[in-house]
Amino acid sequence: MTTSDLISIVIVNYNAGAWLPRCLDYIAQQTYPYWEVIIVDNASQDGSLALVENRDRVTIIRNRENRGFAAAQNQGIAIACGRYIMALNYDLIMVPDFLEELVRALDADAAAGWATGKLLNMALDGEKLNTIYAAGHVLAPDRFSFLRGNGESDRGQYDHPEVVFGAPGAAAMYKREMIDDVSLDGQFFDEHLFMWYEDVDVDWRATRAGWHCCYIPSAVAYHVGHIGEEYREPYKSWRATYGIRNRWLVMAANESFSSLQRNWRALFHYELSSLLFVFRSRLVRAYLQAVWGVMTSLCYLRSKRKAQTTAKGPLVSTPGVECVGREGGDRFC
């Protein structure tokens, strides 16, 4: 086995509880034998790391503070040894041939930079549901509805492999070559976003760079995601602020003017409905914080658009570490 065979699975942990060891159990059952796991912990306080400290083939990075999903993923990527890097959420379990199916698809297509499978929903009690979380990403006209098939019953309507706009970061496998090609200032995931929409930003950048994403329906996984999530304060406002802000930032960094012209009606209707939701849900303060977040990011946006234009040509329309160590066994490199 060489590093050209290896998958480096990067899991960001933040108070995952029993989900974290369960996720590792399902990784250990994969038919594809060449993998390592890198857990980047964002200052969890629930003792979840203690449940996995002695696992074989697991490396743990401990952060003193919550650095966000994007920065933590980048930390894992920086020390990963594999040709394939997989971003994986801890509340997701994969069928045994999930990794094997994705590797086979990426190996068969030189222009495929990343891949994803059919992600179905799973209840908090572990019950596997027959509704779709995502069958890849789609670039919807409103620039919000990215999860293809989300909420639909799985009737086989997404059972054929195809090229899609991108992959949800809950379970996306990236080629190392693509990561190196589209990273900006050493960042694959944009750390300015902290969390949410960082995977969509990668979709946009990679597509513009000439890569495409494979959707492989034979690779099946089950994801809890937002099922049962309680939107209470202060989390409710915090999530609204970052969700609204990051959607705008990703569009501002990646959209072309011609694309905005073509889709202005869908964008207008979404923004209007979003604003009505903000007022009904008493999230006006969060909305204003999102606006302020965009206004204070103008220098960042100019710099990012310039970096992308310099690297890949004009924007066009498209479809704190405490320790880094080895815990629980040797790595493959």
pLDDT, tens digit, for every residue of 49-77?
999 998 999 999 999 999 999 999 999 99
pLDDT of residue 114: 98
CA distances to 9, 148, 305 from 1, rounded to whole Å, are 17, 36, 40
What global pTM score does this model have?
A: 0.90
**CA–centroid distance for 322 within its chain:** 24
User: Per the omega criterion (within 30 degrees of 0), is the bond before 234 cis?
Assistant: yes
pLDDT of residue 309: 72
Q: Find how far residue 284's CA is from the centre of its chain.
A: 27
pLDDT of residue 330: 38
Residue-wise pLDDT for 187-239, tens only, equals 999 999 998 999 999 999 999 999 999 999 999 999 997 655 556 677 788 88
pLDDT in tens, 99-124: 999 999 999 999 999 999 999 999 98
- Supply the mean pLDDT for the chain: 90
Q: Residue 29: pLDDT above 90? A: yes
pLDDT on residue 308: 82
In this predicted model, what pLDDT tens digit does every residue of 152-175 receive, in sequence order?
999 999 999 999 999 999 999 999
Helix intervals (H) in the chain:
19-28, 69-79, 98-107, 176-182, 198-208, 235-254, 257-262, 264-280, 284-295, 298-312
Report the alpha-carbon distance of residue 151 to residue 93 in Å, rounded: 18
Average pLDDT over residues 263-291: 94
Contact present, 36 and 329 (Cβ < 8 Å): no
Alpha helices in 227-263 (DSSP H): 235-254, 257-262
Shortest CA distance to 131 belongs to which of 108, 111, 110, 147? Answer: 147
| Phi/psi of residue 54, nearest 5 degrees | -100, 15
The confidence score (pLDDT) of residue 4 equals 78
The DSSP code sequence of 256-304 is -HHHHHHTHHHHHHHHHHHHHHHHHTT-HHHHHHHHHHHHTTHHHHHHH
Average pLDDT over residues 263-281: 94
For the residues 295-313, what does the mean pLDDT come to? 83
Q: Which single residue is written with the structure tokens 């405490």?
A: 322
